[in-house]
Amino acid sequence: MAGIPGLLFLLLLLFLLLLCAVGQGSPSSAHWKPTWPAYRLPVVLPQSTLHLAKPDFGAEAKLEVSSSCGPQCHKGTPLPTYEEVKQYLSYETLYANGSRTETRVGIYVLSSGVGESPGKSRRKRQIYGYDSRFSIFGKDFLLNYPFSTSVKLSTGCTGTLVAEKHVLTAAHCIHDGKTYVKGTQKLRVGFLKPKFKDGGRGANNSSSAVPEKMKFQWIRVKRTHVPKGWIKGNANDIGMDYDYALLELKKPHKRKYMKIGVSPSAKQLPGGRIHFSGYDNDRPGNLVYRFCDVKDETYDLLYQQCDAQPGASGSGVYVRMWKRQQQKWERKIIGIFSGHQWVDMNGSPQDFNVAVRITPLKYAQICYWIKGNYLDCREG
């Protein structure tokens, strides 16, 4: 009888492996790997920059966004025109001194299939049945990749390290669609680090420098970029499609970061699953990891039921796939966890958590914000 639990575990493991093989395998190859697709990427370049008046930073920070426009609502919305897409991808830049600019962009080799839609708010829940989140404990995990790429914003959200000085997050974490939230002018990004009992690292006696718990070390933000598609009045409340922002830190963070990538279709994702880690408010001080299946998708959004709470907004949604050129496995950020939507499924309301997909156009824009050179943004 003692061997039965072990046998059940082996049978379960075999079942999961067979399930993955059915979901991902190719009948023509026993060694098929979920591979990052190759994309023909557009180019998004600045055309002109205008100076704007300083904002009042009067908005209350909202750690969640909700909308009632579901997949069918999005899919049924007419595609925007070329001029509308240029308007949505134009962006505001906020600097640490409070000054602000608007940059208008041009788009070249435009990809088709960009869809937008309106949305309305409704009270939400974000835990589906049994809570399947995992709190990550111990510096050996928290300080190692990929969990070490998750950072906390001083406004209460989560962000992900995507370059030496850049953090990707949700736009609503710093801007409510009308103006910037309180605290954005002095925005900081927090990195979990060990807290030593003796208050320092330089003690000669190793026993006095045993990590007691983790603490946040903060770095100020130099500037932020928010697409105009998020800012109400420009995109006519198109919902979550442009709920993303990039933060540039005042100094390098010196950690391994996770690159961004163009979001494959849900069918191309390994096991049809996504992963993300965030600082959920109901578990203060804890980094919380989760993974789940994608239930539906539109061109701009991924619909899933990963358990999440306010505070996880802005988390980078990632997958691990095979990089054919380098012959290695690589994780990439393919979306940003935004919030919640109630969806009418055949007359019955159903709720989903939503991630904003990094489309080819969004990749080109975010990559340019990071690199400052479109030639470095030709591979998604």
42-99 pLDDT tens trace: 999 999 999 999 998 988 887 767 666 777 777 778 888 999 999 999 999 999 999 9
Per-residue pLDDT reduced to its tens digit, 282-330: 888 889 899 999 999 999 999 988 888 888 999 999 999 999 888 999 9
Give the pLDDT score at 79: 84
Nearest residue to 310 (alpha-carbon basis) of 332, 288, 334: 288
* Residue 141 banded pLDDT, cuts 50, 70, 90: low
Average pLDDT of the chain to the nearest whole number: 80
Q: Using DSSP, how many helices (H) and how many strands (E) does the chain show?
A: 5, 17
**Is residue 331 over pLDDT 60?**
yes
What does each C-alpha distance from 177 to 190, 259, 302 come to in angstroms? Answer: 24, 27, 21
Catalytic residue among 99, 111, 121, 237: 237
Find the CATH number of the domain harbouring 13.
2.40.10.10
Under a CB-based contact definition with an 8 Å cutoff, are residues 377 and 103 in contact? no
> 3-state DSSP helix/strand/coil percent for the chain, to nearest 5?
20, 35, 45
Report yes or no on 214 lying in a domain.
yes
Domain count, the chain: 1
Give the pLDDT score at 77: 80
Report yes or no on 379 lying in a domain.
no
Report yes or no on 377 lying in a domain.
no
Report yes or no on 376 lying in a domain.
no
Give me the percent of the chain exceeding a pLDDT of 90: 50
DSSP assignment string, 273-294: EEEEEE--TTSTT-EEEEEEEE
* pTM of the predicted model as reported, rounded to 2 decimal places: 0.80
**Residue 243 known to be catalytic:** no
Q: What are phi and psi of 142, to 5 degrees?
A: -60, -30
Per-residue pLDDT reduced to its tens digit, 220-233: 999 999 999 998 75
* Residue 5 banded pLDDT, cuts 50, 70, 90: very low
Report yes or no on 207 lying in a domain.
yes
**Residue 198 known to be catalytic:** no
* 341 token code pair: 């939507």
Report yes or no on 203 lying in a domain.
yes
**Residue 166 known to be catalytic:** no
Rounded to an integer, what is the distance from CA 110 to the centroid of its chain?
Answer: 23
Give the pLDDT score at 319: 96
Report yes or no on 380 lying in a domain.
no
* 15 token code pair: 């079942």
Domain hosting residue 110, numbered range: 5-371
**Is residue 237 over pLDDT 60?**
no
* 51 token code pair: 């100076």
Which stretch of 122-131, 304-313, 347-356 has the lowest confidence by average pLDDT?
A: 122-131
Cα distance between residue 246 and residue 168, in whole Å: 5
Report yes or no on 76 lying in a domain.
yes
Catalytic residue among 313, 315, 340, 351: 313
Catalytic residue among 172, 175, 225, 340: 172
